[in-house]
Amino acid sequence: MDDFDDKIKSLQTKYKLTGQSTSSYLEGLLLSNYVGYWDYIQLETLLSLQRPKTDFPDEQIFITYHQITELYFKLCLHELNQIRCNGVDISADGEVKGSFEELDPDFFKVRLKRLITYFDCLIDSFSVMIDGMEQSQFTKFRMALLPASGFQSYQYRCIEIASTDLVQLVSHTEREKLYPYIPQEEVFDLLYWKKGAKDDKTGKKTYTLEQFEKKYGAELLAFSKQCTSNNLWQKFQTLDKESKVDEELKSLLKQYDQKVNFQWPMMHLKSAAKYLTQKKGAQGTGGTNWKKYLPPRFQKRLFYPDLYSKEELENWGG
Ligand code: HEM
C-alpha cells in the first residue's frame, strides 16, 4: 500500500509541475484500452510496406530482405549515435543520464558489441539473397527496378560517415593526392561511392548517383560535417591513455571494421556474382562496373587503419 501511495504522490508532483490534474489522467487511464502487441509494434503498417513492382513471387523476398536490412541499419545508427552523444539519454521526463563531457570506455565497448551483433546477423542471413531466390525470376524482376539500387541506401552511407574520418571513405587511389587540409565539401566529393558511380573516362555520373544526390546529397554533407569531430574514431581519440591501449577495445573496433568493410561486402558480392554473371557484361541496376566496384580487395576501404600492422594493411581484402 505504501508503494501505491508513493506512486500517487509522485504522479501528483509530476502533473502539478505542469499545472495539470492527476485525477483527469487517472480517469483517462480508466477509460483507455489495453495495449495490444499488434498496436505496439504497428504490425499492420509494417506488413503493408512490402509492395513488389512485378508478379514474380520471389520479388517479395527481395523487397522484404532489403527492408529487414534497413531496420538493422537503423539499429546500428542508434548505437553509433549513442556513442557519439557519450551515452547521454534524455528520458521522457527530461532527466539527463550520462555526461556530455566524456565517453565511458565500458559504454563504448558494449555499444560496439551491439554493432558487431547486428552486422553478424546481416552477414549470417545474406544467404536469403544468395540462395533464396530463383535466378530466372531475379533476372526478370530486377529490370522493373531500374535505376534503383542498394547503392542509394542513405542509412548505409550514414553508418560509414559516423564510423570514421571522412578521408577514410575516399577511394584509396585518390586519398594519396589529398593535401594535409582540404575543405570537407571537397573531401565529400571524392568519396569512393561517388567515384564508383562515374564513367572512368568522361567522369559522367550515373543516373542512380544523380538521383541519390538530389534526394540526400545535402543531408549527407551536413551529417558528415557534424561527424568531422564526432565519429567513432574521433571518440576513441578522446579516451584517456589507458583506454587507447586497451586491447579489448581495439579488437572490438577492428572486428566492427572487418564486419562492415569486408565480411558484409563479401556476402553482398557473392549475390552479385550469382545473379549478374549470367549475362555477359550485366550491370547492377545502379549501373556501376560492379566487378571492379564491389570487391573489397579493390576498394581497400577500412575505418581504422591506425589499428593495423603494415602486413595486415597490405593483405586487407585479399
Ligand atoms: C541479389 C541481391 C543483390 C544484388 C545482385 C545486388 C547488387 C548490387 C550491385 C551490382 C551494386 C553496385 C551498384 C549498382 O551498380 O547497382 C550494389 C550496391 C549496393 N547494394 Fe546491393 N545487391 C543485392 C542485395 C542487396 C541488399 C539485400 C542490400 C541491403 C540493403 C544491398 C545494399 C547495397 C549497398 C549498400 C550497396 C552499395 C555498396 C557500396 O557502395 O560499396 N544490396 N548491389
Q: Where are the domains of the chain?
A: 2-32, 75-315
Residue pair 116/255 in contact (Cβ under 8 Å)? The answer is yes
Count the helices and strands in the chain (H runs, E runs): 20, 2
At 277 the pLDDT is 86
Cis preceding-peptide flag for 105 (omega within 30 of 0): no
How far is Cα 64 from Cα 99, in angstroms, rounded to an integer? 39
At 64 the pLDDT is 98
CA of residue 274 to ligand 1 center, whole Å: 13
| Listed residue (116, 139, 148) closest to 258, CA to CA | 116
At 163 the pLDDT is 98
CA of residue 261 to ligand 1 center, whole Å: 14
The residue whose C-alpha atom lies closest to atom 42 belonging to ligand 1 is: 150
- Of 151, 269, 297, the one to substitute when testing ligand 1's pocket (max ligand atoms within 8 A of C-beta) is 151
At 175 the pLDDT is 81
CA of residue 268 to ligand 1 center, whole Å: 7
Local mean pLDDT, 10-residue blocks, the chain (318 residues): 89 95 96 96 98 98 98 97 82 53 92 98 98 96 96 98 95 77 83 92 94 98 94 96 96 98 97 87 84 90 96 87
CA of residue 5 to ligand 1 center, whole Å: 57
| Listed residue (210, 95, 103, 212) closest to 158, CA to CA | 212
- Of 172, 208, 268, the one to substitute when testing ligand 1's pocket (max ligand atoms within 8 A of C-beta) is 268
The residue whose C-alpha atom lies closest to atom 21 belonging to ligand 1 is: 150
Q: For residue 274, give the ligand 1 atom closest to its CA.
A: 5
At 97 the pLDDT is 56
How far is Cα 68 from Cα 64, in angstroms, rounded to an integer? 6
- Cell readout for 73 is 541499419
At 95 the pLDDT is 54
Residue 55, exposed/middle/buried by CB under 10 A (0-12, 13-18, 19+)?
Answer: exposed
Quick one: angle between helices 105-125 and 264-276, nearest 10? 20
| Listed residue (233, 216, 211) closest to 163, CA to CA | 233
CA of residue 299 to ligand 1 center, whole Å: 15
How far is Cα 104 from Cα 84, in angstroms, rounded to an integer? 11
- Cell readout for 153 is 541506401
CA of residue 96 to ligand 1 center, whole Å: 40
Count Cα neighbours of 288 within 13 Å in the Cβ-side half-sphere: 22
At 274 the pLDDT is 94
- Beta-ladder partners of 96: 90
Q: Which residues line ligand 1 (CB under 6 A)?
A: 65-66, 69, 129, 149-151, 153, 156, 193, 268, 271-272, 275-276, 283-288, 290, 293-294
